[in-house]
């Protein structure tokens, strides 16, 4: 694969898509509550309402900003998972009280781009002076045909495979990250390695087939659910079907722990060693630390099969009816500056969308002791640079969710594998009305 320039990277799934898979108890209630509270119309220019999704430690960013701007009050509401936050925002835009600032996952952004007038054109606040700081394909996703910019990007999610060195050794498999990477140049090789592991130990190799196999394989396609001209092609694009079949193959091979990503069971399984490997974007390393703190030094990071991948991306946007847009903009432009994005990576693993950082020693030479000193900056950046651009469309989230649900149904509920594709396609057509 030819490596594109740093400003032609590929947009893939949104950073917290998987949170929608696990289902968060009370999420819909949170959404309804947030829609009724929204921006209270405060006249205090140093106060603003901020809606985010759960599970990404947004509180830490808010606290960091408050240290930089102690006179500012940020009223943070974690609405629910990423999809629920988007649903809440849709309801608010239709006539409810809106926040001053909202985090939107990349997969949901296209549906909001259909009506850019619902948001403030950030070039009127200063985005025209900083938009060249960001990878151009990222900014293009948040730029309307008429030129309005409605979002500032937060991060991308370069991919790797996090694996347990102790569990690999117990199976008689290599543990050195270069040797492990060499085990699986392709997804078929990855599944075959899983079979070797499971045959040797009797235990599952990966957490689940939906996110660790299908989601990553499909993200490597040059065209995915939408064609280059924006037409829906998920049901005719061979890359999508081939990736789905890879997921079914992993399930049939018996190498999965049947644990959906980011559920309580997934967290517990991580700590107990219920699986040896998991497809991990840069931001997921924090989730692994939180779920399995006692496993420090037992993990390492290998290259993703196929060599490239991205699972991540979100945007900060300001609704047109925001009470305090200036305060919201100051937060967004400050916390997503190249300097702060580099700091976010060092602190939490969020890979920057600012190419000026890609040669910085702080990123290139960054290693993570929890993951056996893996050079995470180098691994994750190379994974993103190896991608080709593709189009996300209005129903990207709905299409992806139903395909993932189809695989989870086979894996966890015993749904017939030979009907899984047709069932998923039928559910997608119902979900998107076509």
| 165 and 230, same domain (yes or no) | yes
**pLDDT-derived band of residue 375, with 50, 70 and 90 as boundaries?**
very high
**Co-location of 167 and 245 in the same domain:** yes
Position 10 pLDDT exceeds 90: no
Q: Residue 135 — very low, low, confident or very high, per pLDDT cuts 50/70/90?
A: confident
Count: domains in the chain: 2
Q: What is the pLDDT of residue 43?
A: 60
At residue 128 the predicted structure's pLDDT band, cuts being 50, 70 and 90, is very high
**Do 303 and 421 sit in the same domain of this protein?**
yes
Q: What pLDDT does residue 18 have?
A: 32
**Same domain membership, residue 234 and residue 171:** yes
What band does 310 get if pLDDT is binned at 50, 70 and 90? confident
**Domain match, 50 and 181 both:** no
- Tell me the pTM: 0.82
Six token digits for residue 220: 């490597």
Please, what is the end-to-end C-alpha distance for the chain in angstroms? 34
pLDDT for 350 beyond 70: yes
Do 272 and 343 have their domain in common?
A: no
Residues 414 and 273 grouped into a single domain: yes
Same domain flag for 290 and 407: yes
Q: Are residues 221 and 112 in the same domain?
A: no
Contact 10, 390 (CB under 8 A): yes
- DSSP code at position 304: P
Which residues are paired to 333 by β-bridges? none
Average pLDDT over residues 260-289: 94
Q: What pLDDT digit, counting tens, does each position of 26-38 carry? A: 332 333 333 333 4
Q: What is the pLDDT of residue 391?
A: 80
pLDDT 10s digits, 197-207? 999 999 999 99
Give the domain extent around 82.
17-156+312-364
**Lowest-pLDDT range, 39-43, 320-324, 366-370?**
39-43
Nearest partner of 383 among 391, 371, 375, judged by Cα: 375
11 within domain boundaries: no
Tell me the C-alpha distance between 273 and 165, whole Å. 11
Domain boundary among 364, 387, 403: 364
Give the residue carrying structure tokens 């693993």: 349
Average pLDDT over residues 295-310: 95
pLDDT for 42: 53
Residue 13 has pLDDT above 70, yes or no: no
Tell me the CATH number at 328.
3.40.190.10
In a domain, 71, yes or no: yes
- 147-181 pLDDT, tens digit each: 999 999 999 888 999 999 999 999 999 999 999 99
Encode pLDDT of 62-78 as tens digits.
Answer: 999 999 999 999 999 99
pLDDT at residue 372, as a whole number: 98
> Are residue 142 and residue 179 in the same domain, yes or no?
no
Mean pLDDT of 246-261: 97
Give the pLDDT score at 21: 33
pLDDT at 243: 98
Q: Say how many CA atoms lie within 13 Å of 98 toward its Cβ.
A: 25
Q: What is the rounded distance in angstroms from the CA atom of residue 426 to the CA atom of residue 433? A: 10
Mean pLDDT confidence for 125-134: 94
Residues 191 and 152 in one domain: no
The band of 126, judged by pLDDT with boundaries at 50, 70 and 90, is very high
Long-range CB pairs of 249-253 (<8 Å, 24+ gap) are 249/188, 249/191, 250/191, 250/194, 250/206, 250/209, 250/212, 250/213, 251/209, 251/407, 251/410, 251/411, 251/417, 252/417, 253/191, 253/194, 253/195, 253/198
Confidence at residue 197, expressed as pLDDT on a 0 to 100 scale: 98
Residue 19 reports pLDDT greater than 60? no
- State the chain's mean pLDDT as an integer: 88
């Amino acid at each position: 694969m030819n490596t594109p320039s740093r400003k032609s990277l590929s947009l893939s799934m949104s950073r917290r898509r998987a949170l929608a898979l696990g289902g968060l108890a009370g999420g819909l209630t949170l959404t309804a509550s947030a829609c009724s509270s929204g921006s209270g119309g405060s006249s205090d220019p140093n106060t603003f309402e901020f809606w985010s999704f759960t599970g990404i430690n947004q509180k830490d960013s808010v606290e960091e900003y408050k240290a930089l701007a102690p006179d500012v009050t940020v009223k943070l509401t974690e609405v629910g998972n990423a999809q629920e936050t988007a649903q809440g925002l849709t309801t608010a835009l239709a006539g409810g009280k809106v926040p001053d600032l909202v985090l939107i996952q990349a997969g949901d952004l296209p549906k909001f781009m259909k009506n850019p007038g619902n948001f403030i054109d950030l070039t009127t606040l200063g985005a025209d002076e900083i938009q060249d700081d960001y990878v151009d394909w990222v900014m293009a996703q948040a730029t309307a045909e008429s030129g309005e910019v409605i979002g500032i990007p937060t991060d991308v999610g370069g991919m790797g495979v996090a694996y347990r060195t102790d569990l690999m050794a117990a199976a008689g498999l290599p543990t050195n990250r270069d040797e492990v990477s060499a085990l699986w140049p392709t997804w078929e090789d990855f599944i075959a390695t899983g079979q070797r592991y499971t045959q040797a130990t009797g235990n599952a190799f990966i957490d689940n087939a939906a996110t660790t196999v299908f989601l990553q394989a499909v993200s490597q396609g040059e065209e995915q659910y939408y064609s280059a001209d924006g037409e829906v092609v998920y049901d005719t694009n061979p890359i999508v079907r081939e990736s789905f079949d890879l997921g079914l193959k992993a399930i049939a091979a018996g190498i999965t722990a049947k644990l959906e990503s980011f559920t309580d069971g997934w967290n517990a399984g991580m700590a107990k060693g219920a699986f040896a490997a998991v497809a991990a974007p840069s931001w997921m390393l924090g989730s692994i630390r939180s779920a399995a703190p006692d496993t420090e030094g037992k993990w390492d990071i290998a290259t993703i099969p196929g060599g490239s991948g991205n699972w991540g991306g979100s945007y900060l946007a300001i609704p047109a009816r925001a009470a305090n847009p200036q305060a919201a903009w100051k937060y967004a432009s400050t916390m997503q500056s190249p300097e702060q994005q580099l700091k976010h990576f060092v602190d939490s693993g969020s890979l920057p969308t600012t190419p000026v950082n890609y040669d910085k020693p702080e990123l290139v030479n960054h290693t993570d002791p929890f993951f056996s000193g893996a050079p995470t900056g180098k691994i994750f950046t190379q994974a993103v640079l190896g991608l080709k651009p593709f189009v996300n469309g209005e129903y990207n989230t709905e299409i992806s969710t139903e395909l993932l649900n189809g695989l989870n149904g086979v894996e966890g509920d015993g749904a017939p594998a030979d009907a899984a594709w047709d069932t998923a396609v039928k559910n997608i057509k119902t979900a998107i009305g076509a």
